[in-house]
Structure formats: C-alpha cells, structure tokens
Amino acid sequence: MTGETLALVLLAAAKWITDLGIVWLVGVCAFRMISGPADDAGGPMEPPSVDRRLVRQAGCALAVLIVAAGARLYAQTWSSFGLDEPITGELARLVAGQTRWGGRWTWQVIAVGAAVPMAALVMARVPGGWLLLGAATLGVVGTAPMTGHALAHAGGPLRPMLLQILHLLAAGVWLGALFVLLSAGLGRPGASDGAAVARLVHRYSPVALTAAAVLAATGVLTAVLYIDHIPQLWQTGYGRVLLLKIGLFGLTAGLGAFNWRWVRPQLTAAGGPGRLRRSGAAELVAAAVVLAVTAWLVHLPMPHG
Ligand code: HEM
C-alpha cells in the first residue's frame, strides 16, 4: 500500500468512527423524543428502565467521539508529515493549532466537550437536562461538516453546510434511533411483549420514514452542488464512490421498507420482536457500510471546481 493510500485509509477510518458516534448521539436524543416520558398505556416508560440506558448510550457515543477526534488528528498529522517523519505530540499540536483544518477540528472538539457536561446533567436527572443535551448535540452536528467539502465549495459554504447538517440529522433520526430502539428499547424489561414493542415501533416508523426522505433529498441536493455534469458520476473517482453509496443507500432503504411493510405488522405475532431485532440489525449493518463509503467519499477531490 502506498503512503498516500494509507493516509486515505487512516483519514477515512477516523471519519467513519466519528460519523458512527454522531449518528448514535443524534439517535439517542431522537429516540428520547420519540418514546417520550410515558408510553401509550400511560405508564412510565423511561425512568428508570429506558432513560438510564439512553443516558448511558449518550455517554458511550460521546466517548466514541472523543476517541475519534484524537484518531482524526493523528490521521491528519500522518497525512501531512507521516510519510517523511514519525508522528510526535509536537507535530499533532502544530496541525491542531496552526492549520485551517486544525482550527475547524478544534471547533468540533469544543462541541463534543460541551456535550459531556450536558450528558452529566441528564445522568443527575436535572430538569431540562435532555433539552440541553439535545442542543449540545445540534452543536456537534453543526460543526461536523466544517472539515468536509462544504466549506470549500466554490459557490459558497452556506447551502452545502445547511444541507449537510440536515443530512446528518436525518441519518441520526432514522438509523441512530433504530440502533437505540433495538438496543435500549427492545432490551428493556417486558420487551418480549409484542404489543409494547409494537407501540414503540408505531411511534418510530413515521419519524424514520420522514427522516429517510430528508436524507435522500439532502443527499441528492448536495450531489447536485458537487457534480457539475452527469458523466462525472462515472468518469471521476468521486462520482464512482458516490454511485456506490447511492446503491448501498438503496439496499438500506430496501431493508427498511421490508421491516416497515412486513416485519412491523407481525410484531404482536409469536416471535415478532425477535424478527424485528434480526432484520433491523441487517438494516443497521448496511447503514454502517454506507457510512464507511461516505467517510471515503469526503476525502476524495470533488469534481466541482
Ligand atoms: C443511509 C443513507 C445515508 C447516510 C447514512 C449518509 C450519511 C452521510 C454522512 C454522515 C455524510 C458526511 C457529513 C459530513 O460530516 O460532512 C454524508 C455526506 C454526503 N452524502 Fe450522504 N448519506 C446517506 C445517503 C445519501 C444519498 C442517498 C445521497 C445521494 C446522492 C448522499 C449524498 C451525499 C453527499 C454528496 C455527501 C457529501 C460528501 C462530501 O463532503 O463530499 N448521501 N452522508
């Protein structure tokens, strides 16, 4: 493997972990909003069973984001200097403090750092804690596209930034919330009760469908900004990876549609929740591959001048 390819692999791997963390964090907040403080039957749904799991997951997502921030700084330093010299703390500090990329990365680190005390407030059950964590999560999402192609767009950063923020939020609301639904929601006591699971899934489904539509629309609009001519889709590396991503999106959406049309109506039948757990996991694996391809895409040169 050449040095340049290795640099791309390191950068993409670190970005993949970052996006997994962001989608997870958004998913926790979205699931908290979807499930609400009480279930349809009027009984308390989260405290202590689900709410504790949710805040634990928010903490884990933030831990992933902190590790990923370190990995991205290492990868960026390696891609700048690593071909010629060993990576030292001094070089990493130079990249973080003296480069434009480092300035934007610092904002992302500040956003993640600001979310940590908010998660602690939720854990301490301070009233309004979830609202503050939700606002801090918006900060994490809002700063994420700063190190991608959006700020470099020749037509100005405003449109691609807004589109990418919506794109990431939609990914979190659909796929992050699905992960939380399958792990925290279906992992709670009484989750083998098909009727209770069905109530939760009926709340999640319309939100997920809307989020998937927003994800596709913002993805296409971003692609329209970044691709000047249709043949660039197969004539450039960026275009080919984007086509791969669109194909994988089709697979993920197809699995989601299967879950919605066939698995969901059978939730109250014997083995319904188990079936959802398995088919939902397949949808999540496909989504993780989409995120891996995206992490590669954002490090390729844009066809747009
Ligand atoms: C499962 C579905 C999808 C997921 C999870 C997903 C996720 C993401 C994420 C995390 C980013 C990076 C945002 C950032 O940090 O800057 C991104 C960027 C992007 N996505 Fe998607 N996306 C999906 C579907 C789509 C679709 C259907 C398209 C449509 C053509 C699309 C087009 C793009 C484009 C063009 C970018 C910008 C990449 C760049 O910076 O060069 N995405 N996506």
| Residue among 294, 302, 304 whose CB has most ligand 1 atoms within 8 A, to mutate | 294
Q: Is 284 in the pocket of ligand 1 (CB under 6 A)?
A: no
Angle at 287 between CA 21 and CA 248, to 5 degrees: 140
Q: What is the mean pLDDT of residues 12-34?
A: 97
| Residue among 147, 222, 285 whose CB has most ligand 1 atoms within 8 A, to mutate | 222
In this prediction the pTM is 0.94
User: If we measure between CA atoms, which residue out of 8, 12, 61, 6 comes closest to residue 32?
Assistant: 61
Q: Higher-confidence residue: 48 or 79?
A: 79
Q: Is 249 in the pocket of ligand 1 (CB under 6 A)?
A: yes
Whether residue 283 is predicted with pLDDT greater than 70 in this model: the reply is yes
Only one residue has tokens 């990868």, namely 75
Whether residue 152 is predicted with pLDDT greater than 50 in this model: the reply is yes
- Atom 38 of ligand 1, residue of closest alpha carbon: 298
Sign of CA dihedral 254, 258, 261, 267: negative
User: Which residues lie below 8 Å from residue 37, measured CB to CB, with a gap of 6+?
Assistant: 44, 45, 46
Instruction: Report the SS3 class of residue 105.
Output: helix
Q: Is 143 in the pocket of ligand 1 (CB under 6 A)?
A: no
The rounded percent of the chain whose pLDDT value lies above 70 is 93
Only one residue has tokens 């340049």, namely 4
> Residue 47: its pLDDT value, please?
44
- Say how far apart CA 295 and CA 278 lie, in whole Å: 26
Q: DSSP letters along 198-248, please?
A: HHHHHHHHHHHHHHHHHHHHHHHHHHHHH-SSTTHHHHSHHHHHHHHHHHH
Q: What's the gap in Å between 219 CA and the centre of ligand 1?
A: 5
Supply the CATH classification number for the domain 3-297. Answer: 1.20.1630
Chain centroid to CA 69? 15
User: If we measure between CA atoms, which residue out of 258, 58, 49 comes closest to residue 176?
Assistant: 58
> Residue 268: its pLDDT value, please?
87
Q: What's the gap in Å between 220 CA and the centre of ligand 1?
A: 9
- The one-letter code for the residue type at 215 is L
Q: Is 149 in the pocket of ligand 1 (CB under 6 A)?
A: yes
| Residue among 245, 252, 302 whose CB has most ligand 1 atoms within 8 A, to mutate | 245
- The burial class, CB within 10 Å (0-12 / 13-18 / 19+), for 258 is middle
With bands split at pLDDT 50, 70 and 90, how would you rate the model's confidence at 92? Answer: very high
Torsion-angle region of 148 (φ positive above 0: left; ψ -120 to 50: alpha; else: beta): beta
Whether residue 39 is predicted with pLDDT greater than 80 in this model: the reply is no
- Say how far apart CA 13 and CA 7 lie, in whole Å: 10
> Residue 28: its pLDDT value, please?
97
- Say how far apart CA 260 and CA 257 lie, in whole Å: 5
Residues 182, 280 contacting (CB under 8 angstroms) = yes
Half-sphere exposure (Cβ direction) of 303: Cα atoms closer than 13 Å: 21
> Residue 21: its pLDDT value, please?
98
